Structure 1
Amino acid sequence: MGNIAIRTVNLGKLFYLNQKKRGKLRETLEEKIRLSLKHLFTALSPDAKKNEKKHPFANKHIWALKNVSFEVKHGEAVGILGHNGAGKSVLLKILSQVTKPTEGYAEIHGRVGAMLEVGTGFHPELTGRENIYLSGAILGMTRREIKTKFDEIVEFSEIGDLLDMPIKYYSSGMQGRLAFAVAVHLEPEILLIDEVLAIEDISFKEKCLSKLKEIVREGRTVLFVSHNMDSLKTLCNRAILLERGKIVFDGDIKKAISKYLSGNPDAKL
């Protein structure tokens, strides 16, 4: 167990489909009034509940993950493959404690850094500089520790004059650059990356991949979600393939990619 960075046991995440989102205040108030009258009518008429029609989505649910069990050792780089909706992002959110599993559990042995989607973890009203320090504090680092990495983060991200501008004015590309730079330079022992190489700038994308290779050589752990097969093959020796929330393959990266492509011919090579 001493060499295990991540261990999941029968991990499951359930989502219910019977909650309809309402964007308008009026609709929300109308719904509350309707429910209040319904409860009153039910209380006054014992037979009302028997004749009540169920909502078409009542009690319906979907398992985003089900019975997901695996181990990742310290120093491993593991690709996470799967079609859209397979459960890849949900898995990373559970491992980074953004959301909790419905069943099962995950053991994490080491400090986690995560880049789940562009801008995640950043406060839009704070500047780039302030968000760097905020991210380090969330990881449990002291201000002095963050300061020793600050210049490297700024240089790598190439955000230049935007450093003291609120994040909300950054383009998604610039947010992605800074988020990646923060995630990799604050030295977490376990790094969770979700589609970071979707950044359009090719030269920066290559720089990101090179940095991830360096991190793996240093003995840190990387879980890498991507639809880019070349990037996965370059970084990882192993991959976990998810289909409808379940692991259908866990092993050699080339075999995993072959199995994935057989059901997804439009994937990026």
Structure 2
Amino acid sequence: MASTYEAAVTSGPIIEAKGLGVKFAVNRRRKRSLREMFIHGSKRDPNAEGSEFWPLRDVSFDVAKGDCVGIVGKNGTGKSTLLKMIAGVLIPDEGKVSVHGKVAPLLELRAGFNDNLTGRENVYLVGSLHGMPEKEIDARFDEIVDFAEIKPKFIDTPIRHYSSGMKVRLGFALISQLEHPIMLVDEVLAVGDKAFKRKSYEAIDRMLANDRTMVLVSHNEKDLRRFCNRGLYIKGGTLALDTDIDSALAAYNEDTRVEIEERKKKDAAKKKRAEEAEKKLEAEQRAATSDSAEGKPVDSAEKPEGGSADKPDGKDGGQAA
């Protein structure tokens, strides 16, 4: 029987990424964002003078229907940036990403909510933005609130007063109600108590059992191994490895171990140089103190010309005034 990972190769992809690259400005989030394009129109790019770097470049992969792909890598390597390009909220500067199906994104702790709106208003707003009819939201509203464990007195409170955990729970409860075939999840499973995590895990299991596709960014190896059959290891802004999740995690952990060992060696060498410099300074200070206590011999150059002033010449001293 073919494994799920083999099925990803033999079946048609639901996500296709070809040569993806994105360029950021050092002095701001991005050289040219959608917001800036809307505000400034055809005017000169306000960030054009800033230096640039590529957090991701030349990244290519396919994801098959029903796969759960974990994106692995250390902080700052472009994992969340990649999810945003798949979701369509960030435009790549190079390459192309094609998504064959609706996407249910849960990319940040705010879950796309408006802080000035109440929990109820946000559910209807975000749900409608994802294509849920108002009647469907009405029918599922109580289930969403119960799943999120939001008390009735808070559901009509502006969510700026919510904790990050409350926002994530409400966002996950809403997104999990969508029938979209693709879910994008970025670290949000790390928030919540054990009981809520258990409910979230069960919900994800149900969605994956229904042949839905998920791309998951997480530093929790248990979550990655539980859900993902495949791993993309992002290293240095490029796709270093596309394989099963265990192999991806093993490569990432080995690189991390080597990096930690190198850092320890550098720190030890730096500490040794500092100790040697301190010992040298202490030795110089002791030598200076010793010389001061013993007294230095008077330099002959400091004596008055013609001999000592304390001993007058005998002949001169014997002459009469």
In percent, how many aligned pairs have the same letter? Answer: 42
Question: Equivalences for 1:70-109 in 2 at 5 Å?
Answer: 70-109=61-100
Once residues 127 and 27 of structure 2 are traced to their aligned partners in structure 1, the CA distance between those partners, rounded to angstroms, is 38
- How many positions carry a matched residue from both structures? 231
The counterpart of 1:123, out of the listed 109, 114, 131, is 114
**Counterparts in 2 of 1:250 and 1:168: CA distance versus 1, 3 Å:** same
SS at match of 2:231: strand
Alignment correspondent of 1:258: 250
Whether the 8 Å CA contact 2:65–2:211 is kept in 1: the answer is: yes
Give TM-score scaled by structure 2 length. 0.68
Whether the 8 Å CA contact 1:176–1:196 is kept in 2: the answer is: yes
Alignment correspondent of 1:218: 210
Once residues 19 and 212 of structure 2 are traced to their aligned partners in structure 1, the CA distance between those partners, rounded to angstroms, is 25
RMSD: 2.2
Q: What displacement does 1:165 show?
A: 1.0
Alignment correspondent of 1:151: 142
Alignment correspondent of 2:53: 62
Alignment correspondent of 1:135: 126
The counterpart of 1:9, out of the listed 7, 18, 31, is 18
Q: Which has the higher contact order (CA 8 A, sep 6+)?
A: 1
Q: Deviations over 1:136-173 (max 9, x none)?
A: 11112211122232222111101122111111110111
Alignment correspondent of 1:232: 224
Whether the 8 Å CA contact 1:152–1:185 is kept in 2: the answer is: no
Alignment correspondent of 1:51: none
Whether the 8 Å CA contact 2:111–2:168 is kept in 1: the answer is: no
Residue ranges of structure 2 left out of the alignment (5+ in a row): 1-9, 30-47, 259-321
Once residues 257 and 175 of structure 2 are traced to their aligned partners in structure 1, the CA distance between those partners, rounded to angstroms, is 32
- Deviation larger for 152-161 or 170-179: 152-161
The structure with the largest alpha-carbon Rg is: 2
What is the identity, as a one-letter code, of the residue corresponding to 2:249? Answer: I
Structure with the higher helix share, 1 or 2 = 2
Once residues 50 and 163 of structure 2 are traced to their aligned partners in structure 1, the CA distance between those partners, rounded to angstroms, is 41
